[in-house]
Each structure stands twice: as C-alpha cells, then as structure tokens.
C-alpha cells in the first residue's frame, strides 16, 4: 500500500465526535517500515491527541529508535493540512532536517515540505546547537 492509502485507512479510524475533523497519518522509517495513526478526541477536548502522535507512538513501541524518512498527513477541508506546532516538534525528534512531510487533503491538493522548513528552530537537547 502507498502512504496515501495507509493514511486513508488510518483516517477512517479517527475518533473525532466533537470536531468531526478526521486526520490520518502514515509514516515510513529509514529502514522501510510503515506506521499509521489517526486523531483521537475525548470529552476533555484539549486532552485528545493528533494523528502524528498516534503514528509516532506506534512506531516507537514497535521499533524503538527508528527514524522517520517520510510522512504523509491527510485531512479534510480546503488546502493542505500541515501538522500542528506540537506535532512538528514530535516529528522532528524522530526524523532529520531532510525528512519529507507530504501534506494533503481529500481532493488531492498536496504540498511537500522538508522537516527543517516546517520547524526551522526545533527544540534540541544538543547544547552545541
């Protein structure tokens, strides 16, 4: 399956009864493994989590230390859907500056970013940066 197909399948499993905004994410690791995630809302609205968070958690649980090569974020609405600020930071911690993040919507509008374009000044625990 393509990353788009995987993200579509994940999106169909989103739990978004409050916003009705379903998001699916598929990511591919440097060694070719794929992981997916969907957004999960709950009644304590700010305590839900994004699709990127779910995909990263699945990756880390199955393949500790894996690094992300590519990400596809699929959402509804007009224009492309980019990851929120928190997810940009989460993605950056498991990827590199040249990791590709493909942002798309249901109509197929797409824009691809490098990770360092999405989050040029990511938090980094390396004191030399």
Identify the band that residue 128 occupies on the pLDDT scale cut at 50, 70 and 90. Answer: low
CA distance 95 to 25: 15
CA nearest neighbour of 53 among 87, 98, 85, 92: 87
What's the pTM?
0.93
Q: Is the pLDDT of residue 127 over 90?
A: no
Q: Which of 8, 52, 78, 102 is catalytic?
A: 52
Q: pLDDT tens-digit profile of 97-126?
A: 999 999 999 999 999 999 999 999 888 877
pLDDT digits (tens, 9 = 90+) for 47-83: 899 999 999 999 999 999 999 999 999 999 899 999 9
Q: What is the pLDDT of residue 45?
A: 78
Residue 47 annotated in active site:
no
What per-residue confidence (pLDDT) applies to 97? 95
Nearest by Cα to 4 from 47, 34, 46: 34
H or E, element range at 68? strand 68-75
DSSP 3-state of 77? coil
């Amino acid at each position: 399956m393509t990353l788009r197909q995987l993200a579509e399948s994940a999106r169909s499993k989103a739990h978004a009864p409050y916003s009705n905004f379903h998001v699916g994410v598929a990511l591919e690791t440097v060694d070719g493994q794929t992981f997916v995630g969907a957004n999960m809302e709950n009644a304590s609205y700010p305590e839900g989590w994004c699709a990127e968070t779910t995909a990263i958690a699945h990756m880390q649980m199955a393949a500790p230390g894996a690094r992300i090569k590519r990400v596809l974020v699929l959402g509804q609405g007009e224009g492309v859907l980019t990851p929120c600020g928190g997810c940009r930071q989460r993605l950056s911690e498991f990827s590199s500056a040249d990791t590709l993040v493909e942002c798309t919507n249901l109509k197929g509008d797409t824009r691809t970013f490098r990770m360092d374009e999405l989050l040029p000044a990511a938090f980094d625990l390396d004191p030399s940066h």
